Amino acid sequence: MRKKLYVKSLQQQSGATLLVGLVILLLMTFIGLAAIRGSGMQELMAGNMRDRQLAFQAAEAALRVAEFKLESESELAISTLFNGTNTGYVEQMDGSSSSEFWLVYDWDGGSVSTNLGLDNVASQPAYVVEKIEGSVWNSDEGGDIGFTPSAAAPAPEYYRITSRGVGGTESAIVILHSTADP
């Protein structure tokens, strides 16, 4: 018996394998581009989070410096801080319990700049200490703990410390408040 050999001519091939291969290659390219875009976005988010954490830690360090200064000074020395000649030590300012107040505050001219030598921050943290009388401390303006002293007791003095920390870039800013009762 003779075997017949069947050979298709080149003109009869339709090229379906090539077409399917190109479609799969195109899909893999889209998946690869999406993965690259996603990892790039995650890298940006991680960098922003690091920048914000640096700013937070700088602001926290400035708070601790101010709290330590108030705790270590005598009552007489503290009263001389608020005589109007020391930058960054002021009587309670109108609107200072609002976060918007501190966003536009003149930090360069009206605060105590720390010399902590922090690395990786755009500028060293700064703080402002306000002397607050108990009778004018109002909870309606920013969530502070409000109280009114009794008529027999003198109004207690408290100090609100506000610090500003800047991260690795000037756009990462954290503002923190603390209350001290030395």
Q: For 124-156, what is each residue's pLDDT tens digit?
A: 999 999 998 764 444 445 555 555 555 556 667
- Across the range 21-46, mean pLDDT stands at 92
pLDDT grade for 99, boundaries at 50, 70 and 90:
confident
Residue 4 binned pLDDT confidence (cut-offs 50, 70, 90): low
Q: How do the domains of the chain map onto residue ranges?
A: 16-180
Q: Which residues pair with 176 in a beta bridge?
A: 163
